């Protein structure tokens, strides 16, 4: 079903200013919420709770298509339409004319819990190659599963995926329905970054520190399989590993500097923005700015340890990040180079500004309206989001006026 309604929304940062000036109860300052780990302190100024951006802007939303069942990932095709995944295992072409039938020929997915069909990506040469890459939770038998990545060619009539090959399988598989990752990002050298989760359970999450496994890692692979050239050599490590010590990476994008940036889910507090460097250890589950869901410390309750990297930024309380893009376009002139991140629990589009490589400000848009699962920037500069629900939607966001 196509919905052409256009409804104005205001970012929470604006609502805060309005409330202060008009004395109304519209929204609240997200920095005023108490942390889940009040005894923890940031490693440096500005590592958390950056100043709320004072911006007077109204956004207009245009629902391109709804009726998507728990959509997870999207990528824009050269003609302006979108490839979109739905967790139950469907991939569709989405445009202002509606939803295409589900594309046939995809491998079986395990859609229990957080599993299913996940991210999707194409390269600039799609019009010539018709090649698509996607990630998914792959069933491995006896209740086990793991993140996998496949590639295939979309038929000219867009009904079938042909020449399908599985190019990556996370090892080991685990009997868990949680923490699959996973985002797909091509770098400027043509290699494919794949982010994974550590499967959440107490036993497998320790493997985020074990470089002989793929759990809780950023991986960098050849688009047709195998490790990419130029990966770091980690003693005893898998050759696909780029960085390790991650929890559940569901947001990733290349920044204006050409480097990969990621955002991962923390536990109760401790969502992290990182710029993963080759071969580095990002600490989970040894260090974290979060707590267990019970409120007890994670491990020894450490936030710093020698040999482990600090996040560029963290959130406590969490936003539950998913999807990320750096803005480049003409519609939002003041947003160039800013990070746009989806918030699930935060139910918001989160915008971060930067100065000298660190976060200098934060704003939240659409606060409380929907779980934002993915974020991208359209060819014309509009911001595009996917909302995560049984009636999810692909929505364009534009400045009002």
Q: How confident is the model over 98-147, as pLDDT tens digits? A: 899 999 999 999 999 999 999 999 999 999 999 999 999 999 999 999 99
pLDDT in tens, 2-28: 333 334 433 433 332 222 222 222 345
CATH of 72-245, one of 2.60.120.650, 2.120.10.30, 3.40.30.10, 1.10.10.10: 2.120.10.30
Residue percentage of the chain with pLDDT more than 70: 93
pLDDT value of position 13: 37
pLDDT value of position 401: 67
* Tokens of residue 301, six digits: 């309750």
Given a cut of 90, whether residue 1 has pLDDT beyond it is no
Strand partners, 145: 139, 174
> Considering 179, 214, 246, 265, which one is annotated as catalytic?
179
Q: List strands edge to edge, sheet with 144-154.
A: 117-121, 131-141, 144-154, 161-169
CA distance 222 to 213: 18
pLDDT in tens, 73-84: 999 999 999 999
CA distance 224 to 362: 38
The arithmetic mean of pLDDT across residues 180-192, rounded, is 97
**Token pair 């390269």: residue:** 123
pLDDT value of position 98: 87
DSSP state of 52: B
Cβ-based neighbours of 263, under 8 Å, separated by 6 or more: 249, 250, 251, 252, 271, 272, 273, 274, 321, 324, 341
CA distance 366 to 372: 9
The arithmetic mean of pLDDT across residues 167-192, rounded, is 98
- The separation between CA 348 and the C-alpha centre of its own chain, rounded to angstroms, equals 13
User: For residue 297, which phi and psi values (nearest 5 degrees)?
Assistant: -65, 150
* Tokens of residue 320, six digits: 């539950």
Q: How confident is the model at residue 221 (pLDDT cuts 50, 70, 90)?
A: very high
* Tokens of residue 4, six digits: 């052409």
pLDDT value of position 315: 98
pLDDT value of position 57: 79
pLDDT in tens, 323-381: 999 999 999 999 999 999 999 999 999 999 999 999 999 999 999 999 999 999 999 99
CA nearest 48: which of 286, 312, 343, 356? 312
179 is catalytic: yes
Average pLDDT score over the chain: 92
User: For residue 129, which phi and psi values (nearest 5 degrees)?
Assistant: -95, -25
pLDDT value of position 58: 83
Given a cut of 60, whether residue 390 has pLDDT beyond it is yes
pLDDT value of position 56: 77
Strand partners, 128: none
- The full length of the chain comes to 401
Do 86 and 72 form a contact (C-beta atoms < 8 A)?
A: yes
Say whether 227 sits in a helix, a strand or coil: strand
């Amino acid at each position: 079903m196509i919905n052409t309604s256009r409804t104005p929304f205001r970012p929470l940062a604006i609502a805060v200013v309005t409330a202060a000036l008009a004395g109304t109860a519209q929204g609240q300052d997200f920095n005023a919420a108490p942390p889940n780990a009040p005894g923890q302190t940031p490693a440096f100024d500005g590592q958390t709770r950056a100043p709320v951006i004072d911006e007077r802007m109204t956004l207009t939303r245009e629902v391109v298509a709804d009726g998507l069942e728990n959509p997870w990932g999207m990528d824009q095709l050269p003609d302006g339409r979108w490839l979109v995944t739905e967790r139950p295992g469907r991939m569709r072409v989405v445009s202002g004319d509606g939803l295409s039938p589900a594309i046939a020929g995809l491998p079986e997915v395990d859609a229990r819990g957080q599993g299913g069909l996940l991210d999707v990506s194409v390269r600039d040469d799609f019009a010539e190659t018709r090649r698509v890459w996607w990630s998914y939770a792959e069933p491995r038998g006896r209740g086990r599963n793991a993140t996998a990545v496949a590639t295939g060619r979309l038929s000219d009539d867009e009904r079938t995926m042909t020449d399908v090959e599985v190019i990556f399988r996370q090892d080991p598989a685990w009997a868990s329905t949680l923490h699959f990752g996973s985002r797909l990002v091509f770098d400027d050298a043509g290699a494919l970054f794949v982010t994974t989760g550590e499967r959440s359970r107490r036993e497998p999450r320790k493997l985020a520190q074990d470089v002989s496994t793929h759990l809780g890692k950023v991986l960098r692979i050849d688009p047709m399989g195998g490790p990419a050239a130029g990966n770091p050599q980690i003693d005893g490590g898998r050759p696909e590993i780029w960085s390790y010590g991650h929890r559940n990476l569901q947001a990733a994008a290349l920044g204006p500097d050409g480097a990969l940036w990621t955002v991962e889910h923390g536990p109760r507090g401790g969502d992290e923005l990182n710029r993963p460097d080759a071969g580095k250890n990002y600490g989970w589950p040894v260090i974290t700015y979060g707590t267990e869901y019970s409120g007890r410390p994670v491990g020894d309750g450490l936030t710093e340890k020698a040999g482990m990297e600090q996040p560029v930024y963290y959130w406590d309380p969490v936003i539950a990040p998913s999807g990320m893009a750096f803005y480049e376009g003409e519609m939002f002139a003041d947003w160039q180079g800013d990070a746009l991140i989806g918030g699930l629990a935060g139910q918001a589009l989160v915008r971060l500004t930067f100065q000298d490589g660190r976060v200098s400000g934060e704003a939240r848009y659409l606060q409380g309206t929907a779980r934002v699962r993915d974020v991208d920037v359209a060819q014309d500069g509009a911001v595009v989001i996917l909302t995560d629900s049984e009636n999810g939607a692909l929505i364009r966001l534009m400045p009002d006026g």
